[in-house]
């Protein structure tokens, strides 16, 4: 049995090493995406104009008036003092061609007091420029910038499958790490003084053992981040009843017009606080997102600057019918079935935010360890492969010499 597990571990590891190395390094960085992005691009994130910020709806109107081919798809409803108001936008549809207008940006930062633009960028663009670096790493982590063909997002599927292989390999690895319970101490030790191959081997084996629990959590949540609807939700639904995914809801009826969308947005923002209280949500409305074509707007409930959720299971979200204001779906942290709460925990666990700052530090460190395990695994394989080839070469050389001697005689 053990030889089979060794073989599986070898090929699973080699097959996923490059992907996990990349995911580990980028994950270690994007655990701090907001902080690093703001540090690299202060003019995009910081505003020094004194005064009272304009209402979010007014800022959205000004942005859309300035860029008539763009529609705001996400906007914060409040901003922290000294910060810009940053909105996401999408192209409107050309009524003549029925094709989206071409836009070279999807994120805009405005001075919240004056409404003046401070910057724009294409979030997720494949670019190492300072303004694009952190969003680029974020996209690379999740999609590898692979294309979408025939409705299949190959990046998402690739990383999802890698996550499943990694999860299986993690259980194989923990079995291999303890060949004998009597010598369990060896599986936790690092032969630092010996260095060389011995240390490389221990970094791979013992490093994986020490962080095995965290590695399994990251592997499971990586599947959820990529193949939640395709794999995780169907599996979880076998054991627990799940509420419909609120972020995939589409309102009944035809798509709303731009004029209807503007009116609906204003009404939903006005009513959001009262609706939240009726749902038992104590936090204020903090963000609004939605595509008018879906007929749904989502309201996130959090204080200014807490859009990612600093701890726990994240922020509450209500999905509302743009025409009627009816709540169509909800995600309220800690509420729902056991399966619903499991689903809610996936991103907070994957990002480490479930445990606040210590959790993010742990996830960042784990990302570096994942990269290290990938490198040391390949190094171990290379050394063993060379060792296997050496006797084969010697045997071949001996056979050649023997053949020549027999021919000479």
CA-based angle 37:38:40, to the nearest 5? 65
402 has pLDDT over 70: no
What average pLDDT score do residues 171-200 get? 89
Residue 243 CA, chain-centre distance (Å), reads 22
The whole-angstrom separation of Cα 5 and Cα 169 is 9
Q: What is the mean pLDDT of residues 252-272?
A: 86
3-class SS of residue 125: coil
Angle of helix 356-408 relative to helix 212-227, nearest 10 degrees, comes to 100
- Whether residue 121 is predicted with pLDDT greater than 70 in this model: the reply is yes
Predicted pLDDT at 401: 56
Task: Convert the pLDDT of each residue in 333-382 to its tens digit.
Answer: 999 999 999 999 999 999 999 999 999 999 999 999 999 999 999 999 99
Query: Taking 60 as the threshold, does the pLDDT of residue 408 lie above it?
Result: no
How far is the C-alpha of 276 from the C-alpha of 334, rounded, in Å? 15
Beta bridge partners of 285: 301
> What pLDDT shows up at residue 259?
80
Q: State yes or no: pLDDT of 282 exceeds 70.
A: yes
pLDDT over threshold 90, residue 113:
yes
Q: Give the confidence band of 398 by pLDDT, cuts at 50, 70, 90.
A: low
Contacts of 253 (CB under 8 A, 6+ apart): 295, 323
Q: What is the rounded CA–CA span in Å between residue 121 and residue 282?
A: 34
* Confidence tier at 393 by pLDDT (50, 70, 90): low
Lowest mean pLDDT among 125-139, 183-197, 244-258, 305-319: 244-258
Q: What is the pLDDT of residue 391?
A: 65
CA 261: distance to chain centroid? 30
- pLDDT score for 387: 83
Instruction: Give yes or no for residue 409 having a pLDDT over 60.
Output: no
pLDDT band per the 50, 70, 90 thresholds, residue 151: confident
Residue 87: beta bridge partners? 108
- Backbone torsions φ then ψ of 118, nearest 5 degrees: -110, -10
Which residues on adjacent β-strands are paired with residue 108? Answer: 87, 120
pLDDT over 70 at 389, yes or no: yes
Least confident of 26-30, 134-138, 149-153: 149-153
What are phi and psi for residue 131, nearest 5 degrees? Answer: -65, -25
Q: Which SS3 state, helix, strand or coil, does residue 331 take?
A: strand
């Amino acid at each position: 049995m053990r030889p089979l597990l060794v073989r599986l571990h070898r090929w699973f590891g080699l097959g996923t090493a490059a992907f996990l190395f990349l995911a580990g390094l980028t994950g270690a960085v994007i655990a701090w995406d907001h902080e690093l992005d703001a540090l690299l691009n202060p003019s995009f994130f910081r505003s020094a104009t004194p005064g009272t910020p304009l209402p979010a709806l007014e800022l959205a109107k000004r942005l859309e008036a300035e860029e008539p081919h763009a529609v705001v798809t996400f906007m914060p409803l409040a901003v922290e003092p000294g910060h810009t108001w940053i909105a996401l936008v999408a192209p409107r549809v050309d009524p003549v061609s029925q094709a989206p207008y071409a836009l070279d940006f999807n994120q805009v930062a405005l001075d919240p007091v004056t409404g003046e633009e401070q910057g724009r960028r294409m979030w997720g663009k494949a670019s190492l420029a300072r303004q694009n670096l952190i969003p680029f790493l974020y996209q690379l982590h999740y999609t590898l910038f692979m294309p979408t063909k025939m409705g299949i997002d190959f990046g998402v599927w690739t990383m999802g499958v890698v996550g499943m292989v990694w999860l299986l390999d993690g259980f194989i690895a923990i079995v291999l790490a303890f060949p004998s319970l009597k010598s369990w101490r060896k599986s936790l030790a690092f032969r630092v003084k010996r260095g060389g191959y011995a240390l490389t081997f221990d970094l791979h084996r013992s490093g994986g053992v020490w962080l095995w629990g965290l590695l399994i959590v990251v592997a499971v949540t990586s599947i959820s981040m990529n193949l939640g609807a395709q794999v995780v939700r169907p599996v979880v639904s076998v054991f627990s009843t799940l509420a419909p995914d609120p972020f995939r809801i589409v309102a009944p009826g035809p798509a709303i017009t731009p004029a209807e969308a503007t009116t609906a947005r204003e009404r939903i923002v006005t009513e959001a606080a009262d609706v939240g209280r009726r749902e038992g949500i104590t936090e204020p409305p903090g963000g609004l997102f939605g595509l008018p074509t879906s007929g749904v707007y989502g309201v996130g409930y959090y204080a200014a600057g807490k859009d990612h959720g600093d701890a726990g299971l994240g922020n509450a979200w209500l999905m509302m019918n743009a025409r009627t204001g009816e709540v169509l779906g909800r995600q309220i942290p800690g509420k729902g079935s056991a399966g619903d709460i499991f689903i809610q925990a996936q991103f907070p666990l994957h990002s480490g935010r479930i445990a606040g700052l210590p959790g993010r530090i742990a996830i960042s460190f784990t990302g570096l360890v994942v990269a290290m395990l990938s490198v040391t695994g390949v190094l171990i394989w290379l050394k063993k492969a060379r060792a296997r080839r050496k006797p084969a070469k010697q045997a071949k050389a001996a056979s050649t010499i023997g053949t020549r001697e027999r021919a000479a005689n």
